[in-house]
Amino acid sequence: MRTSSVAWTKWAETLSRFKIEGLVAWLLEAGEPLTLVGAQMLYFGQPLLGHDRVNDLAHFLEDKEEVSAFVAFLRKD
């Protein structure tokens, strides 16, 4: 599953607004071995968090290629 470029742009804009895009890119790269565990934790916590975005984020974290592509997208901006 690929996240749309519109979603990537929105995520990047939000991260940029808080000036944490570099930090998030670094965390995604450094935490790459744990992204699947993070996705599973999000699925487990979804009833408590109750957001569709949580599900989208969990799907995103499950796809290593997409995570790498998003990191590259963040680094270009």
How many domains is the chain built from?
Answer: 1
Q: Tokens 């699925």: give the residue.
A: 43
pLDDT in the model for residue 7: 82
Task: Report mean pLDDT in 10-residue bins for the chain, 77 residues.
Answer: 74 93 95 92 86 83 93 87
pLDDT in the model for residue 77: 56
pLDDT in the model for residue 46: 85
Tell me how long the chain is: 77
State the residue range of the domain holding 48: 5-76
Give the up-direction half-sphere exposure of residue 52: CA atoms within 13 A in the CB hemisphere: 1
pLDDT in the model for residue 55: 84
pLDDT in the model for residue 47: 83
